[in-house]
Amino acid sequence: MSTAEATAAEHGDINEPGKARETFRAITRDVAWIAESPKPHKAWLVALGISMTMLGIGTYCIYKVIFTGIGVWGNSNTVCWAWDITNFVWWIGIGHAGTLISAVLYLTRQQWRVSINRSAEAMTIFAVMAAGLFPLLHTGRPWFAWWMFPLPNDMGSLWPQFRSPLMWDVFAVSTYATTSILFWFLGMVPDLATFRDRNAVKGNNIKAAIYGLFSLGWRGSARQWHRYERAYLILAGLATPLVFSVHSVVSFDFATSQLPGWHTTIFPPYFVAGAIFSGFAMVLTLLIPLRFLFNLQHIIKQAHIHAMCKIMLATGMMVGLAYGTEFFIAWYSGNPFESFTFISRAFGPFWWAYFAMVSCNVLIPQFFWSNWVKNNNILIWVLCIFVNIGMWFERFVIIATSLARSFLPSAWSYYHPTRYDVGVFVGTIGLFLTLFLLFFRFAPVVAMSEVKGASDEAHATGKKGSH
């Protein structure tokens, strides 16, 4: 087991569809070899190279944004928010699938979640990190962004302004990030201990020490397992409302303003549905290739992909319903500003963005009715990319088109991105992918203990779990 080839040779028959036997040992071995193989996979190296290049571009653009000013972007006095907040909301949305899978599906005893929850949680954390950059960067003076936190200070009674939805964002996103990290890390502790033990056996003392540090003295005793399960349940309970609250609060940035196109009560549920939609699309975007590369088809099964496709189909239609409802309300409310905003969205200067959004988010998921599509992983991957694009456009359409055509016609404007808008976005994708690739190489990418618990062998009857 010193090389990847040897590992592959060892579980040769396992890789053959239909013949796989998921022994506990095989599960451990199949997950652990990714981190244990001394040479990384070539595709992984190529992917890491691309991601880090993107991260480098982004770092340069962020340097320009901070040191020259956000004037390097295309934002203007009419369209004050554009790609910055679009990217923020998009990334936060992507960060929704992880916690949903970990917490909500855990509480509802959806066993199929176990093969993907670890990577989905990691994705959540990295997406929230990428998202978190934007509220910081989009401010004119990011070095003072800490003023948004209610920190005691010597400037008299200076305090944040709690009526502002941006303040609520600060709390919502930071709470979400904290809970997600805790949840992810707690779930990883038994698996990190497994890594520690395997490295210790092989004499990789440095690795064993590092994994040992993070496994917090886990020995796998029944008492530890008991405490662990309780803590996990509590965190799942805490995280579940967050799944709904974070994007609701983010949507308040728009819903509580008075701008036509922003000022609507439908936003919280609509944003949450969209977030789950885009989150699952991103999970599949990442897992479909990695599952092939690292031979995890027998753990992350086609059935799991089916389930995720169904969720995307459902949430995609919710989003579609929201689009329709918005138009209906724009007409039904009799508010002429509102109706103009929606007509302008669909048929005005940003029509291309609107139709990109509708086709990607409403039409594309309809393919998931077909089982043939759901078995064609390449097609699923392509469709998920479209969903990711569509969800980005959804936020762009809401933000830019509403701002560009607000109350006074004399202030109407248009928005053009600059290379720095694109560069910072590319950079956050690079950051996200880099972190994810590093995670995939060095951490337990599948919750081994949970997969074992959900496998056939774990049940005395030998009956299958609810795959």
Binding site for another protein (CB under 8 A): 64, 68-72, 74-81, 138-142, 144-145, 147-148, 158-161, 163-167, 170, 253, 256-259, 336, 340, 343-344, 347-349, 351-352, 403-404, 406-414, 416-420
Q: Which residue, 179 or 406, is less far from another protein as judged by CB?
A: 406
In whole angstroms, the minimum distance from the beta carbon of 346 to another protein comes to 9
Q: What single string gives the DSSP state of each residue in 277-345?
A: HHHHHHHHHHHHHHHHHTT-TTTS-HHHHHHHHHHHHHHHHHHHHHHHHHHHHHHHT--HHHHHHHHHH
Q: Which residue, 8 or 259, is less far from another protein as judged by CB?
A: 259
Joined together, the tokens standing for residue 191 give 């698996």
In whole angstroms, the minimum distance from the beta carbon of 55 to another protein comes to 20
In whole angstroms, the minimum distance from the beta carbon of 84 to another protein comes to 9
Token pair 């990334």 in the structure block, residue: 91
Q: Which residue, 244 or 354, is less far from another protein as judged by CB?
A: 354
Could you give the dihedral angle defined by the CA atoms of residues 274, 350, 421 and 146, in that order, rounded to the nearest 10 degrees?
-60
Cβ contact 391:361 at 8 Å: yes
In whole angstroms, the minimum distance from the beta carbon of 51 to another protein comes to 25
What residue spans of 333-446 are helical by DSSP H?
Answer: 336-347, 351-358, 371-375, 377-396, 402-404, 419-442
In whole angstroms, the minimum distance from the beta carbon of 299 to another protein comes to 44
Joined together, the tokens standing for residue 362 give 């409403």
In whole angstroms, the minimum distance from the beta carbon of 68 to another protein comes to 6
Q: What single string gives the DSSP state of each residue in 85-147?
A: HHHHHHHHHHTHHHHIIIIIHHHTT-GGGGGTHHHHHHHHHHHHHHHHHHHHHTSS-GGGGGG
- CA-closest candidate to residue 434, choices 97, 133, 49: 49
Token pair 């983010």 in the structure block, residue: 250
Q: Which residue, 327 or 412, is less far from another protein as judged by CB?
A: 412
Q: Which residue, 72 or 284, is less far from another protein as judged by CB?
A: 72
Q: Which residue, 46 or 166, is less far from another protein as judged by CB?
A: 166
Report d(CA 382, CA 195) in Å as an integer: 34
In whole angstroms, the minimum distance from the beta carbon of 82 to another protein comes to 10
Q: Which residue, 42 or 163, is less far from another protein as judged by CB?
A: 163
Q: Which residue, 170 or 235, is less far from another protein as judged by CB?
A: 170
Report d(CA 455, CA 467) in Å as an integer: 9
Report d(CA 107, CA 443) in Å as an integer: 25
In whole angstroms, the minimum distance from the beta carbon of 272 to another protein comes to 22
